[in-house]
């Protein structure tokens, strides 16, 4: 269920029965000549919608707000770089506002993996958790749950990310923009990880399904814990 498409009575029911919200968070960032600029955010968004179908709750509109992108790193074009302060504050306010509306478990699903960006998202999440004991926020890179069963994801415009976009939005990938053979120099193409020319929609589907398979039980478990806290505190005068 998409937050922005909910009527009030529908959202009230979700908050009562499954007060879980996912914030897909990414960037507008260069991802090689073969992928759409919104790759990070789009894949996290579609993965969030898949997870929401499985466990319930609601998905917020994806947030395109990346820190430590390819732009300051090596000057890659068509990339929008935001400050650490903006990312931190925008996330903390999202978490506080969702809590204020009755959500008790928030998942920030990160599609952009810059180390300092991830650190900032985790700091804001931790700050929220330090301030609230009847709600919880967690921040995961979208490849993290697959890693729990030793499936490696998390490249940059390589085989994994390209495959995920091919699975969800084949219209946004064009492998013919890459050289047909020979080496793909990372500093020229802005690609890291396994060769994106090996990307397939099938591989993307496998990663997407594994994400939901691994993430869903964890979310259900955390949600049961925080809902119990909420329900117990509601019973107190």
Residues at the site binding Zn ion, with contacts judged by CB under 5 A: 40, 161
Nearer to Zn ion, 19 or 145 (CB): 145
Written as six digits, the tokens of 22 are 């996912």
Q: How far apart are CA 23 and CA 35, in angstroms?
A: 22
Buried b or exposed e, range 3-26, using 16+ CB within 10 angstroms: beeeeeeebeebbeebbbbbbbbb
Q: How far is the CB of 26 from Zn ion (least distance, A)?
A: 8
Q: How far is the CB of 54 from Zn ion (least distance, A)?
A: 24
Per DSSP, the three-state class of 67 is coil
Nearest position to Zn ion, beta carbon: 40
Q: Which is nearer to Zn ion, 31 or 136 (CB)?
A: 31
Q: Which is nearer to Zn ion, 81 or 161 (CB)?
A: 161
**Is the CB of residue 78 less than 8 Å from the CB of residue 121?**
no
Angle between helices 39-55 and 201-235 (to 10 degrees): 60
List, in order, residues 6 or more apart from 69 with CB less than 8 Å away. Answer: 27, 29, 30, 76, 79, 80, 81, 112, 114, 117
Nearer to Zn ion, 15 or 40 (CB): 40
Shortest distance, position 39 Cβ to Zn ion, whole Å: 5
Separation CA 16–CA 8 (nearest Å): 12
Task: State in angstroms the smallest separation of the CB of 66 from Zn ion.
Answer: 9
The residue (of 40 and 107) whose beta carbon lies closer to Zn ion is 40
Other CB atoms within a 10 A radius of the CB of residue 185 amount to 10
Least Å distance between CB 33 and Zn ion? 14
Shortest distance, CB of residue 116 to Zn ion, whole angstroms? Answer: 15
């Amino acid at each position: 269920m998409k937050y922005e498409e909910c009527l009030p009575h529908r959202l009230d029911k979700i908050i009562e029965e499954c007060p879980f919200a996912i914030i897909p968070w990414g960037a507008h960032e260069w991802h090689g000549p073969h992928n759409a600029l919104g790759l990070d955010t789009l894949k996290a968004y579609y993965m969030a919608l898949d997870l929401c179908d499985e466990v319930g709750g609601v998905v917020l509109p994806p947030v395109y707000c990346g820190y430590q992108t390819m732009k300051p790193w090596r000057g890659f074009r068509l990339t929008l770089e935001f400050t650490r302060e903006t990312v931190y504050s925008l996330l903390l306010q999202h978490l506080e506002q969702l809590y204020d509306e009755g959500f008790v478990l928030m998942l920030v699903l990160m599609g952009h993996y810059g180390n300092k960006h991830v650190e900032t998202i985790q700091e804001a999440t931790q700050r929220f958790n330090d301030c609230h004991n009847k709600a919880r926020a967690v921040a995961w890179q979208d490849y993290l749950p697959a890693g729990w069963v030793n499936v490696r994801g998390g490249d940059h415009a390589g085989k994994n990310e390209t495959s995920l976009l091919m699975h969800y939005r084949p219209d946004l990938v064009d492998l013919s923009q890459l050289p047909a053979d020979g080496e793909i120099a990372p500093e020229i193409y802005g690609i890291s990880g396994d060769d994106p020319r090996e990307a397939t929609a099938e591989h993307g589907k496998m990663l997407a399904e594994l994400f939901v398979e691994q993430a869903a039980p964890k979310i259900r478990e955390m949600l049961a814990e925080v809902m119990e806290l909420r329900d117990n505190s509601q019973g107190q005068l």
